[in-house]
Amino acid sequence: QNICEVPGVKDICNWLRKAFKGRKPSVDFDNDMFSISQGLRGSSWRGKDCSDTSRNVYPGTKPLAEDRTFDSNCNGIFGVNKKTARSYEEELCGASQPRGVAVLGDSISAHFHMPPQWLDATLISEKVFEHLILVVENEIDWPMLSTVTGHGKNNWTEVITGPIDSLYLRIRDRNRCNHRDYQNIAANGEDSIGMQNLVKTLARNPQRDHPIIVLYALIGNDVCNGYPDTVAHMTTPQAMYDNTVNTLEHLHATLPNNSHVIMMGLADARILYNSMGHRIHPVATHWGHFTYGQFYDFMNCLQISPCSGWLTTNGTLRNLTAERAEELSEALRKVYRDHKKSYYNFDLHFIENPMPNAVREWVKHGGEAWQLIEPSDGFHSNQIGQALLAKVLWREFETKHPEILGPVNPNNEEIGRLFGNQGGY
Amino acid sequence: INGGYGCAACTALVAIVEQLAEIKNSTVVETLDYLCYILPVELRPSCRAALEFLGPMLVVLVEHKVGPDVACHALTFCYTNPGQPTCHSMIPPLHRRLKGPSMTFEEKVLEAKQRIQFRMKKTRGP
């Protein structure tokens, strides 16, 4: 009865379990939480280490000895300007107020994307499985193309298409000294309960590192579960409040002074069923009649739905889920009101969930909501949606909280001229 | 419950194999072989081991176009826990269901199981 007991499939199941279990980089010889390899919580998730044998060398740290001889913070800037005898790090970055960016989140922040080509008999081919190993080692997430930590080039266009835009890229454009200073601390299915532990994998030293902008973006799993009595298993507003305060307490102890923590409200995901319910799922493209409504019901029957409150043909249940999501957002607003003055290492902020604005903007430009949703699960935001969210969030920060972003570095051009792509990713 | 992820994976696999065989106008054996071939080289041995075990059963089920729901119940990756409803994906279109409404779902599953047993006996010999 258990498919994982079938010869051959057993090995694959073991491999999947192992890949999905890790929360820290697997390849990390110096134990500084930054890696030189990509998958298994490596550089797809956190800036690539530039020395995996030195514990004091990693992205986001304040430069050691002004990086006169080597690059200790992996931003690609090091050496001495012979004309002035000053280090480049000091000259180009010293007054620039560098900062990193991180997200504490769920599968939306990690950017879950199962290529629909894997399920669609009309599109399946050797090419679409070419990067399967990396995809699994990244937990079927694409943090390197995500809203907060997207970076680099899309080398996987056979299975994922759309623009790359992210808060990290925009913060780096603003100040190129921030190169590689990103951390994606998100996991599929993560909620406010689990985040109290997962936050411990955020690597930041309050004395040695630069400040960081942390997005607390648990936008759904506190109302999402696969149980038939789903409402009974949702987080209560009081538990949401307590869990969030616990996570903030941990951040208070680990973030450098002048950091920012931005809590994001939960999403109202009624749009999912409304836009996807009658569309055809890729697993039956050739036969052409298996709708997302049927797909959601099948997942619910097997009790493996990522969210039976949103992904259901039952409209009353979707409304109840929306109600609880709003109550949990209100709990976050209360955390903000009660604790905005409590933490001296960081400023606390609250923002409403940006999804409705992103959808509105997309529709305004002639698009349709379903075009922003992942085809394989009918649940997550796709590459277009991820990039659009980055744009909407950035606009919100620029207009309402510009202090979060820091000043534009006037030396950006010079950095580009001297250090090119700064070592890439 | 009711087979959970294993049932979902089986259902998707059978749906893909059936459609792919139709699209490529190939036999079930060729289609299964192709699916292992297109995986990264590291996974091919596991895929072939799985096919050695499951392949003969899948061939019987897909050749008879029983559809993913019946196939995965016959293979027992999908089942019905006491007190739970029987899960149907309803993936294959109506015209693909060979037997009409005169046969219940349970009867179709039973018939598919018998086909598998017959094939296995034939393969193994007396």
For residue A297, how far is the Cα from the chain centroid? 28
pLDDT the model gives residue B102: 79
List residues bridging with A217 in a β-sheet: A105
Torsion on CA atoms A198, A42, A392, A321, rounded to nearest 10: -40
Say yes or no for a CB contact (<8 Å) between B52 and A7. yes
Q: Which of residues 28-57 of A touch B (CB under 8 A)?
A: none
Band (B126; pLDDT cuts 50, 70, 90): low
Is residue A191 within 8 Å of A106, Cβ to Cβ?
yes
Cβ neighbours of A132 in B, within 8 Å: 39-40, 43
Residue among B12, B77, B90 whose CB faces A294 most closely: B90
pLDDT per position as a tens digit, A222-241: 999 999 999 999 999 999 99
Is residue A121 within 8 Å of A285, Cβ to Cβ?
yes
Q: Match 């999905």 to its residue by tokens.
A: A20
Say yes or no for a CB contact (<8 Å) between A287 and B93. yes
Catalytic site includes residue A107: yes
Question: How much is the average pLDDT of B24-53?
Answer: 96
- The residue of chain B nearest to residue A302, with distances taken between CA atoms, is B4
CA dist A199 and A183 (Å) reads 11
Question: How much is the average pLDDT of A13-19?
Answer: 93
Half-sphere exposure of residue A250: CA atoms within 13 angstroms, side-chain side:
18
Using alpha carbons, select from A183, A115, A177, A197 the residue that is nearest to residue A146. Answer: A183
What share of chain B in percent tops pLDDT 70?
Answer: 90
CA dist A353 and A332 (Å) reads 12
Instruction: Count the helix, strand and coil residues of chain B and give each as a percent rounded to the nearest 5.
Output: 65, 0, 35
- The residue of chain A nearest to residue B47, with distances taken between CA atoms, is A8
pLDDT the model gives residue B120: 84
Say yes or no for a CB contact (<8 Å) between A1 and B3. yes
Instruction: For residue A81, give the 3-state DSSP assignment.
Output: strand
Question: How much is the average pLDDT of A161-176?
Answer: 98
Using alpha carbons, select from B35, B36, B103 the residue that is nearest to residue B64. Answer: B103
Instruction: Count the helix, strand and coil residues of chain A and give each as a percent rounded to the nearest 5.
Output: 40, 10, 50
CA dist A48 and A298 (Å) reads 41
Q: Residue B99 above 60 pLDDT? A: no
Cβ neighbours of A126 in B, within 8 Å: 37-38
- What phi, psi does A410 have (nearest 5°)? -65, -10
List residues bridging with A261 in a β-sheet: A214, A348
Kind of pairing, strands A212-217 and A259-264? parallel
pLDDT per position as a tens digit, A322-339: 999 999 999 999 999 999
Residue among B4, B42, B79 whose CB faces A304 most closely: B4
CA dist A159 and A130 (Å) reads 9
CB contact, 8 Å: A18 with chain B? no
Q: Using only C-alpha atoms, what is the Rg of chain B?
A: 15
pLDDT the model gives residue B58: 95
The length of chain A is 425
For residue A195, how far is the Cα from the chain centroid? 13
Q: Give the mutation candidate from A5, A301, A303, A376 for the B interface (greatest B CB count, under 10 A).
A: A301
Q: Using only C-alpha atoms, what is the Rg of chain A?
A: 22
Say yes or no for a CB contact (<8 Å) between A6 and B19. no
Burial of A228 per CB tally in 10 Å (0-12, 13-18, 19+): middle
Is residue B18 within 8 Å of B79, Cβ to Cβ?
no
- The residue of chain A nearest to residue B11, with distances taken between CA atoms, is A283
ipTM of the complex as predicted:
0.95
pLDDT per position as a tens digit, B42-86: 999 999 999 999 999 999 999 998 999 999 999 999 999 999 999
pLDDT per position as a tens digit, A51-86: 999 999 999 999 999 999 999 999 999 999 999 999
pLDDT per position as a tens digit, A243-289: 999 999 999 999 999 999 999 999 999 999 999 999 999 999 999 88
Residue among B15, B37, B49 whose CB faces A7 most closely: B49
CA dist B54 and A412 (Å) reads 59
CA dist A244 and A60 (Å) reads 25
Say yes or no for a CB contact (<8 Å) between A121 and B23. yes
Q: Residue A15 above 70 pLDDT? A: yes
Say yes or no for a CB contact (<8 Å) between B16 and A283. yes
Half-sphere exposure of residue A257: CA atoms within 13 angstroms, side-chain side:
3
Say yes or no for a CB contact (<8 Å) between B8 and A6. no
Nearest chain B CA: its distance from A233 CA (Å): 17
